[in-house]
Amino acid sequence: VKNNKNKSSKAADRCFCKLKGEIDDCTCKVETISEINNNKIYPRLKSLLARNYFRYFKVNLKKPCPFWPDDSRCALKDCHVDKCKEEEVPIALKKGHENKYSKEAQNEGSCEEERELGALNTSLSDESKQAFEDWNKYDESQELFCDVDDESSAGMEYVDLLLNPERYTGYKGDSPHRIWRSIYEENCFTPQPEIGYGPSKKNSPSLCLEKRTFHRLISGLHTSINIHLCYDYLFQGNSIGYGNVAKWEPNIQEFKKRFDPKTTSGAGPQRLKNLFFTYLVELRALAKAAPYLEQEDFFTGDTEEDLSLKEGIKDVLSIIKSFPDQFDESKLFAGNPVEAKLLKEEFRTHFRNVSRIMDCVGCDKCKLWGKLQTQGMGTALKILFSGDDVGPDSTVNAHHKKHFQLTRSEIFTLFNAFGRLSKSVHSLEKFKTLLNDPM
Ligand SMILES: Cc1cc2nc3c(=O)[nH]c(=O)nc-3n(C[C@H](O)[C@H](O)[C@H](O)COP(=O)(O)OP(=O)(O)OC[C@H]3O[C@@H](n4cnc5c(N)ncnc54)[C@H](O)[C@@H]3O)c2cc1C
């Protein structure tokens, strides 16, 4: 037991070795983020994001992949996964039953049908449908929601995020690798080697601040997605030590495989650190947009709920604003104006590509969360770099020029995307404990 414990604490030290001190290119410390997130921001966001306003995501999951022939069928249906007989599939994994995951369901069979893990639960109540119609009418009358093309396109549907948590889906192999590869190799200014952002080495010029920022942002998002799947991992019945009961639990081995320097050629700890960088950038976007958000009306069709939601949002924003070491976006695109403009355009094009690649993700649930999080990050970048005013005077006013605006969908994805990062940072505590103290 002692030996095992020693081995595991070393793994904890190795994985978390970079999670201390200042975050690259920022003055903020990892410890400060962990403390304020875990004690103040995460608990508040958790209850805020369970409210109706932040619960139903309007999204088009049927858009064709613009870059290569759609391989999603091949990725999960018949090519990689052997089909189980109907009676072998645990009831909890069948479409429409996911939310009913219960003791009764856990005692069901053990066959893995990974396609079902990634399938969406699209059930909605009649009241929700009525509420969405009211929301649309309200949005149109406010002229706040300007992204009409997407909003009105065929294929848009509401998805209940609480019924479709981001977790292990079994999506692996060529399809996600092609997505990540195309993001990093074609769109992400990846430094060589990935672990070093530092001064230039021979044949490997260091990246400028903007490109480093871009790469870290995406890497931090990737880390967050992978932490979620490690944290909410499906141990099938018959897994060693699990008998016949299937369970959703943190998977330490999976976490180690992804973040231990030993299994990642040294890159794991930096990838974990990048999560904090991404967190800091989105935190700053919320702080910057706070004056705008604080005076926004969050319409849900229920006056009491609207008011209480507004209070909840103000409460979390007050903590976000009080964060001492905010990311300083003014350092980016600050050089020669002509070069800065080109760089910003390049940044924007690459980010747009990353968000479009999400339509190529071959697992509906992963696509859902991938789209949500890239859209949220896009909103954060718009807030930080659009150059428009963000302030109390910036809301729509019929008699004045329209300045900065956020659509409902931008507000929705901004908060939800930040909520994902917040949960990832929070779950690191659990992994640290488990690695230090394996049962
Ligand atoms: C948009 C998207 C959403 C997904 N959502 C889910 C989900 O909800 N549930 C689920 O179970 N699976 C999900 N996946 C799949 C998951 O991210 C992995 O691709 C899969 O588990 C296979 O993991 P892997 O170990 O092969 O490495 P991958 O995570 O696929 O990584 C590929 C390569 O990228 C590099 N890399 C890894 N992490 C980082 C990082 N943080 N920064 C920089 N480089 C890195 C490494 O070289 C690695 O070999 C999603 C994939 C995508 C593209």
Q: Is 360 a catalytic residue?
A: no
The band of 147, judged by pLDDT with boundaries at 50, 70 and 90, is: very low
What is the CA(197)–ligand 1 centre distance, in A? 21
- pLDDT for 398 equals 38
Dihedral class, residue 165 (left if φ above 0, else alpha if ψ from -120 to 50, else beta):
beta
Task: Work out the average pLDDT over 336-351.
Answer: 85
**DSSP-derived 3-state class of residue 233:** strand
pLDDT of 71 reads 61
- Whether residue 118 lies inside any domain: the answer is no
336 lies in some domain: yes
Residue with tokens 């909103």: 379
pLDDT tens sequence across 59-96:
888 888 988 886 654 444 433 323 334 443 333 323 33
Which pLDDT does position 153 carry in this prediction? 67
Look at ligand 1, atom 20, and give the residue with the nearest C-alpha.
Answer: 172
Q: Does residue 364 lie within any of the structural domains?
A: yes
The CA distance from 64 to 153, in Å, is 13
Mean pLDDT over all residues of the chain? Answer: 78
Q: Judge contact between 374 and 275, C-beta under 8 A.
A: no
- Residue whose CA is closest, atom 46 of ligand 1? 264
Verify cis geometry, omega within 30 degrees of 0, for the bond prior to 165.
no
CA 299 – ligand 1 centroid, Å: 36
What value of ipTM does the predicted structure carry?
Answer: 0.99
Enclosing domain of residue 27: 2-76+123-230+259-436
Distances (CA, A) of 40 to 37, 128, 279, 373, 430: 6, 30, 15, 22, 17
- d(CA 91, CA 101) in angstroms, rounded, equals 8
More confident: 418 or 114: 418
Strand partners, 58: 158
**pLDDT tops 70 at residue 201:** no
313 is a domain residue? yes
Paired with 29 in beta bridges are: 22
6's CB contacts (< 8 A; 6+ apart) are none
**How far from the centroid of its chain's Cα atoms is residue 437's Cα?**
28
Residue 115: inside a domain, yes or no?
A: no
Instruction: Match 């508040």 to its residue by tokens.
Output: 44
Helix, strand, coil tally for the chain in percent (to 5): 60, 5, 35
Beta bridge partners of 201: 204
Residue 91 is classified by DSSP as G
Q: Is pTM beyond 0.90 here?
A: no
Count of domains observed in the chain: 1
Distance, CA of 106 to CA of 152 (rounded, Å): 40
Confidence of residue 143 (pLDDT cuts 50, 70, 90): very low
Binding-site residue numbers for FAD are 167, 169, 180, 219, 222, 258
Up-side HSE of residue 137: CA atoms within 13 Å toward CB?
A: 8
Under the banding of pLDDT at 50, 70 and 90, the label for residue 241 is low
Contact 258, 424 (CB under 8 A): no
Of the two residues 96 and 177, the one the predictor is more confident about is 177
Instruction: Tell me if 240 is assigned to some domain.
Output: no
Please spell the DSSP secondary structure of 162-210, one letter per residue.
Answer: GGS-S------SHHHHHHHHIIIIIHS---SSTT--SS-BTTBPPPPHH
Assigned domain for 81 exists: no
Report yes or no: 231 and 213 within 8 Å, Cβ to Cβ.
Answer: no
Q: What is the per-residue pLDDT for 218?
A: 95
Ligand 1 contacts CB of residue 366 (under 6 A): yes
Candidates 28, 188, 360, 366; catalytic one: 366
Q: Among 276, 366, 420, which is best to mutate for testing ligand 1, by the most ligand atoms less than 8 A from CB?
A: 366
Q: Work out the percent of the chain whose per-residue pLDDT is above 70.
A: 71
Highest mean pLDDT among 35-49, 134-148, 205-219: 35-49
Tell which atom from ligand 1 comes closest to the C-alpha of 218.
Answer: 42
Structure tokens at 244: 């016949």
Give the chain's count of helices (H) and strands (E). Answer: 18, 4
Task: Please tell me the distance between residue 111's alpha carbon and the centre of ligand 1 in angstroms.
Answer: 24
84 a catalytic residue: no
> Is residue 251 in a domain?
no
Of all atoms in ligand 1, which is nearest to the CA of residue 357? 1
Residue 388: what pLDDT? 57
